[in-house]
Amino acid sequence: AGAAAAPCSAQLLGRSLESPNGLGSSMNNFVNEALLALHHKRSLALCLPSDPQHPWERYYESAGVPICRKCSDDSGAAQRTMFEVVALLNSGQLSRASLLEVKLPAYERLFRPNAALLSAIAAAEQSLGLQTGKYIGVHVRRGDKASEAAPVSSMGYVWKLRELLQGSPNLDTVFVASDDDRSLVRLKGKLGKLGDLGRAIKFVEQPRLPDYAYKARGAHYNSKSSRFLLVDLELLVRAHTFVGTASSNLGRFVFFRRNGRTCHSLDDHE
């Protein structure tokens, strides 16, 4: 109640969404902030500017979280939040099982698409033929993750796709989400070289944006590029099966949003 009346006086000011980091990292750390507020029984408010409007505020329901428009600068706040969650896990105050129990409903509550995003998702589903949800969603992480985790070869994705398609004869569509404009062609070509699956497999992706749009991060996201990314994520959430990497913040976001539905990670990342 206190945070709602005076958001900027909340006991915990969530700064992750104003971080210059990638949108996936910012959204995941937003959940970490909510988790810390719940664990320590602190009031929570979000630090967000009114202009430009952040993608979360533009495309997701508010979830009743108060917003402070005049937070003081604190560039290290988001990183401290992540370290505090890790410290709780390492100390045994929070188990990984209980963390999952808290995070799954938190993602569902905090990332509920609003009418504008739902309309964009429906248009993409219609144009790509994904309305039934009978497709495999694949996220190929951005290349700058190579400095944090070993890269996953395209054949790693291809072998997993072949295994899944062989085991699910009712699936014949693969939706690809990637910053790399070569990912779809590469996956499709290499899968075809492994032999006939007994049916044609269709690979689809959203129409590509200009290259510079995929390099945008944090506050530099504009309305079009952020909407495009969020539609990609929501299509991955809605897929019959998801294939990605745990080292990717976007992959982790999709995992939690899928709330227990089938996911396959091609790497193991804490």
How do residues 174-228 score in pLDDT, each as one tens digit? 999 999 999 999 999 999 999 999 999 999 999 999 887 877 655 455 678 899 9
Q: Indicate the range of 69-73, 141-145, 208-212, 255-259 predicted with least confidence.
A: 141-145
Q: Give the model's confidence band at 82: pLDDT under 50 very low, under 70 low, under 90 confident, else very high.
A: confident
C-alpha triplet 270, 252, 225: angle, nearest 5°: 135
* Domain shared by 139 and 232, yes or no: yes
DSSP 175: E
Global confidence as pTM: 0.90
* Domain shared by 82 and 150, yes or no: no
| Structural domain contains residue 30 | yes
Q: Indicate the range of 25-29, 148-152, 223-227 predicted with least confidence.
A: 148-152
Whether pLDDT at 270 is above 60 = no
| Structural domain contains residue 270 | no
Q: Give the model's confidence band at 143: pLDDT under 50 very low, under 70 low, under 90 confident, else very high.
A: low
* Domain shared by 12 and 102, yes or no: yes
Residue 142's pLDDT is: 67
* Domain shared by 100 and 190, yes or no: no
CA dist 260 and 145 (Å) reads 25
Q: Tokens for 189?
A: 């070509």
CATH number for the domain including 137?
A: 3.40.50.11350
* Domain shared by 165 and 235, yes or no: yes
C-alpha triplet 74, 61, 12: angle, nearest 5°: 30
Q: Indicate the range of 46-50, 88-92, 184-188 predicted with least confidence.
A: 88-92
* Domain shared by 24 and 154, yes or no: no
Whether pLDDT at 133 is above 90 = yes
Question: At which of 110, 143, 176 does a domain end?
Answer: 110
Tell me if 171 sits within 8 A of 165, measured CB to CB.
yes
| Structural domain contains residue 121 | yes
Residue 217's pLDDT is: 55
* Domain shared by 172 and 96, yes or no: no
| Spatial CA neighbour of 108 closest among 230, 251, 244, 258 | 258
Whether pLDDT at 79 is above 90 = no
Question: At which of 68, 85, 110 does a domain end?
Answer: 110
* Domain shared by 58 and 31, yes or no: yes
* Domain shared by 151 and 52, yes or no: no
Question: At which of 110, 137, 152 does a domain end?
Answer: 110
Tell me if 77 sits within 8 A of 18, measured CB to CB.
no
Q: Which residues pair with 204 in a beta bridge?
A: 175
* Domain shared by 68 and 133, yes or no: no
How many structural domains comprise the chain?
Answer: 2
Whether pLDDT at 250 is above 60 = yes
Residue 144's pLDDT is: 47
* Domain shared by 20 and 124, yes or no: no
| Structural domain contains residue 242 | yes
| Structural domain contains residue 149 | yes
* Domain shared by 259 and 143, yes or no: yes
Residue 189's pLDDT is: 97
Classify residue 43 by burial, with Cβ atoms within 10 Å: 0-12, 13-18, 19+: middle
Q: Indicate the range of 62-76, 207-221, 245-259 predicted with least confidence.
A: 207-221
Tell me if 33 sits within 8 A of 18, measured CB to CB.
no
CA dist 103 and 91 (Å) reads 19
DSSP 233: H
Laid out side by side, the sheet with 67-68 consists of: 12-14, 44-47, 67-68
Q: Which residues pair with 202 in a beta bridge?
A: 173
Enclosing domain of residue 70: 2-110
Taking CA atoms, 144 is separated from 27, 76, 180, 217, 247, in Å, by 18, 21, 11, 12, 11
CA dist 239 and 262 (Å) reads 9
Quote the strand ranges of 102-204, DSSP E.
136-140, 173-178, 202-204
